[in-house]
Structure 1
Amino acid sequence: MFDFRFHHLGGREYCRVAYDEPAHWLHLTWSGVATTPDSHHVATELLRYLPAGRVHYLLNDNSRVLGPWLDSVDWLQHIWVPQAGQLGLCYVAHVLQPHTEDDLGLLLEHNLFGDKFELQFFTSLEDAECWLRECQHAVPC
């Protein structure tokens, strides 16, 4: 369906957004340093290209991110998540960047996205993919 790559002015790629046709999910792969404006830009562009009602599963891989990522949580909760939910997003598998398991506790404690879609956190890409496949077989959107 689509494959976009986002680059900093210097040319370094910080995010790839691709639709994995065989798996039927959107796959975001973040790498290096992605600033808050970078993440907002990608998320906003994503909303422009998501076909309404056709993408129900998202794999968000932060395993190669350097630096903080929690700066965008408030914006995601209030701006992006409601719009993504309206477009049909139902399940999000989020692969944490290494050594940020403590951040996971903060997010789980507040359940910021629970009323919009089901969100699960993982420390490995393989576990995240497995969970999304289980969601597809158990409760399709």
Structure 2
Amino acid sequence: MRLHDLYNDDEHLYCSIQFDAANQWLYATWQGYVPTPDAERGAEAYLTELRQRHCPGLLNDNSRIAGPWFDSTAWLEQIWAPQAAELGLRYVAHVTPPDGFAASLDVAARRPFGTQFELQIFDDLTAAQDWLLRCYAAEKTPHRLA
């Protein structure tokens, strides 16, 4: 179900946010060049949807981004992430553009979101979806005490 389509000043679609009802996660696709103010607007749209849907997963597909997606992760770390975690976000599967995998891994290695939620970086959409499905399945599996 399509929730938000975000357009830049030139009226080009740069972000589409959907709710994947079958899997119960938000699915955002980004495309083109996305300057920081537009990226923040898209991330804030996630928060709006998390308030309404209370889903623990986000599939963030940046595979069609041109150029850097976000100039600084400081805003994400300090402003966005605490709100997203408070709204129940627990898993973020981030699919990078073809030339951004190594840089994204470097950011993820710093663990910028601490223990607020789990972030995994992928260069393949199917692998990202599979990881989210495993995360959801693990939540439903009863844990044994040793």
Calculate the TM-score normalised by the size of structure 1: 0.92
1:97 maps to a residue whose letter is: P
The 3 A distance-change label for structure 1 pair 21 and 11 is: same
> For structure 2, which runs of at least 5 residues remain unmatched after alignment?
141-146
What is the match of residue 93 of structure 2?
Answer: 93
2:91 maps to a residue whose letter is: Y
* Alpha-carbon distance, 1:49 to partner: 3.1
**C-alpha separation between the residues in 2 aligned to 1:70 and 1:9?**
17
* Alpha-carbon distance, 1:95 to partner: 0.2
What is the match of residue 14 of structure 2?
Answer: 14
For 1:18-97, list aligned pairs within 5 A.
Answer: 18-51=18-51, 54-97=54-97
8 Å contact kept, 1:77–1:112: yes
8 Å contact kept, 1:29–1:61: yes
1:80 maps to a residue whose letter is: W
What RMSD, in angstroms, separates the aligned Cα atoms of the two structures? Answer: 1.6
SS of match in other structure, 1:68:
coil
Deviations 1:32-57 (A, max 9, x none): 01110001111123223323672100
8 Å contact kept, 2:58–2:93: yes
**C-alpha separation between the residues in 2 aligned to 1:36 and 1:30?**
13
> For structure 1, which runs of at least 5 residues remain unmatched after alignment?
none
Deviations 1:108-130 (A, max 9, x none): 33111131001100000000000
**C-alpha separation between the residues in 2 aligned to 1:8 and 1:81?**
23
Which is greater in Rg?
Answer: 2
Identity of aligned residues (%): 40
8 Å contact kept, 1:65–1:97: yes
SS of match in other structure, 2:73:
helix
Give the total of aligned pairs. Answer: 140
What is the match of residue 124 of structure 1?
Answer: 124
**C-alpha separation between the residues in 2 aligned to 1:91 and 1:104?**
16
Calculate the TM-score normalised by the size of structure 2: 0.89
